[in-house]
């Protein structure tokens, strides 16, 4: 789950990191009177996307009376006029620094990233320190300091090392896959203040956290979903709609990625990506097919590809359930079925027998996923 900036900053504050004073202002509301005493102001739209500064969704001003004008400038650039705004005291930034902790997927550990030039153009910044974080030992400021030597003057490097050393522990406790602070502001009087927060929490760890936390982020995430994506979630699996011409039905993410690539290699594009919720594959074949049928009703969708791969669930039962489902309402576009089954799954019916059974009733079925995709490509005129 991606946290909105205001929720991300609340998380940082809970862990004792400095963030600017701020207050959420919802549509139609006015800022609270006490804000008038702040030295200056920044107002920021609370969206789940970054790059807001460049899109004019972050505005600075001197007097609270300018709030209305700032809001008027931001609103036209928003899809949803009810997007909450975060009003903060302006921090006098002497220097913008980039710091992040993220999961390094290939090394299977956390890594710390620090760049001496943060802010909106961080991608263009050349220098970056990457520090691997050991899983079994605490990260010490000394280790980080050693890696920062060339990028910062030594007094600042020491202060940043102490700051950054706290972040991996926060990421672990909060089950974060990303904790990015950009800019981390260094003020003229030497304070480090997190002026922005981009935080992503691993959804598989949701059960460890308060379900009522981060209500704004949850609401924004639901708003950003399509109707079918929301329906899929209530049916028990995850759907991401993509721009494509083939409705793709798969279960695990690995298989889904492989099929998306294969489809792409054959001149088509998948219009859907499916994954399991909570890591465990619930039995949701007919629910997934139902979503595929809805997708296939769209004129731009030319075919449905259903790849099923069974390890231990019975293939024979899967095929009977599929045939029963197909006997219902007809599909709006041609269906191509791929079948793979391990020993346990194939006890009563092998993948080859399943293909025969399906072909006998006119369903295009394959044991080889490449043959499956090639057949679909021929059918939609891409081969």
Among 3, 58, 181, 220, binds ligand GDP (CB under 6 A): 58
Distances in whole angstroms, Cα of residue 46 to Cα of each of 119, 196, 372: 18, 11, 44
- Using rule CB under 6 A, residue 100 touches ligand GDP: no
Shortest distance, CB of residue 96 to ligand GDP, whole angstroms?
Answer: 6
Instruction: Locate 272 and state its tokens.
Output: 């859907």
Task: Pick the closer one to Mn ion by CB: 180 or 275.
Answer: 180
Burial of 81 from C-beta contacts in 10 A (0-12 / 13-18 / 19+): exposed
- Using rule CB under 6 A, residue 195 touches ligand GDP: yes
- Using rule CB under 6 A, residue 90 touches ligand GDP: yes
Burial of 30 from C-beta contacts in 10 A (0-12 / 13-18 / 19+): exposed
Among 84, 116, 168, 183, binds ligand GDP (CB under 6 A): 183
Instruction: Locate 358 and state its tokens.
Output: 């399906």
Shortest distance, CB of residue 198 to Mn ion, whole angstroms?
Answer: 7
Q: 27, 43 in Cβ contact below 8 A?
A: no
Instruction: Locate 182 and state its tokens.
Output: 């950009």
Shortest distance, CB of residue 174 to ligand GDP, whole angstroms?
Answer: 20
With residue 147 as reference, give the H or E element that holds it: helix 141-148
Task: Pick the closer one to ligand GDP by CB: 47 or 289.
Answer: 47
Among 66, 104, 111, 120, binds ligand GDP (CB under 6 A): 120
Cβ-proximal residues to 52 (8 Å cutoff; 6+ apart), any chain:
44, 45, 58
- Using rule CB under 6 A, residue 44 touches ligand GDP: yes
Phi, psi of 131, rounded to the nearest 5 degrees? -125, 115
Among 174, 196, 241, 275, binds Mn ion (CB under 5 A): 196
For residue 315, the SS3 value is helix
Task: Pick the closer one to ligand GDP by CB: 51 or 138.
Answer: 51
Length of the chain, in residues: 383
The whole-angstrom separation of Cα 250 and Cα 377 is: 18
Name the one range near ligand GDP by CB under 6 A: 43-51, 100-108, 216-224, 330-338: 43-51
Binding string, residues 143-182; x marks residues near Mn ion by CB under 5 A? ---------------------------------------x
Residue nearest to Mn ion (CB): 196
Q: 225, 234 in Cβ contact below 8 A?
A: no
Q: 241, 351 in Cβ contact below 8 A?
A: no
Among 53, 236, 264, 332, binds ligand GDP (CB under 6 A): 53
Among 42, 114, 304, 339, binds ligand GDP (CB under 6 A): 42
The whole-angstrom separation of Cα 10 and Cα 201 is: 14
Number of residues that bind ligand GDP (CB under 6 A): 19
Site for Mn ion, rule CB under 5 A: 182, 196
Site for ligand GDP, rule CB under 6 A: 20, 42, 44, 50-53, 58, 88, 90-91, 93, 96, 119-120, 182-183, 195-196
């Amino acid at each position: 789950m991606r946290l909105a900036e205001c929720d991300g900053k609340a998380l940082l504050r809970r862990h004792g990191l400095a963030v600017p004073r701020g207050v959420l202002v919802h549509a139609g509301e006015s800022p609270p009177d006490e804000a008038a005493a702040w030295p200056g102001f920044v107002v920021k739209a609370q969206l789940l996307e970054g790059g807001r500064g460049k899109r004019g969704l972050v505005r600075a001003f001197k007097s609270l009376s300018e709030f209305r004008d700032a809001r008027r400038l931001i609103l036209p650039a928003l899809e949803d006029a009810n997007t909450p705004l975060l009003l903060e005291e302006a921090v006098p930034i002497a220097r913008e620094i980039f710091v992040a902790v993220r999961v390094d997927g290939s090394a299977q550990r956390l890594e710390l990233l620090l760049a001496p030039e943060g802010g909106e153009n961080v991608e263009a910044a050349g220098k970056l320190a990457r520090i691997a974080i050991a899983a079994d030992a605490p990260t010490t400021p000394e280790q980080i300091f050693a890696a920062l030597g060339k990028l910062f003057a030594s007094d600042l490097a020491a202060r940043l090392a102490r700051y950054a050393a706290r972040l991996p522990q926060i990421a672990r406790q909060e089950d974060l896959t990303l904790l990015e602070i950009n800019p981390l502001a260094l003020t003229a009087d030497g304070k480090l203040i997190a002026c922005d927060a981009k935080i992503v929490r691993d959804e598989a760890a949701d059960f460890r956290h308060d379900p009522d936390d981060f209500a704004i982020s949850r609401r924004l995430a639901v708003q950003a979903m399509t109707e079918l994506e929301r329906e899929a979630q209530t049916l028990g699996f995850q759907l991401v709609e993509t721009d494509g011409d083939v409705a793709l039905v798969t279960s695990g993410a690995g298989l889904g990625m492989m099929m998306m690539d294969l489809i792409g290699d054959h001149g088509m594009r998948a219009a859907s990506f499916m994954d399991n919720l909570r890591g465990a594959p619930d039995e949701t074949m007919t629910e997934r097919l139902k979503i595929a049928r809805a997708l296939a009703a769209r004129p731009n969708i030319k075919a449905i590809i259903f790849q099923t791969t069974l390890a231990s669930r019975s293939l024979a039962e899967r095929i009977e359930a599929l045939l029963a489902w197909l006997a219902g309402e007809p599909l709006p576009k041609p269906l191509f079925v791929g079948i793979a089954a391990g020993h346990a799954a194939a006890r009563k019916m092998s993948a080859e027998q399943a293909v025969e059974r399906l072909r006998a009733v006119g369903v295009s079925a394959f044991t080889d996923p490449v043959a499956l995709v090639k057949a679909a490509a021929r059918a939609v005129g891409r081969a």
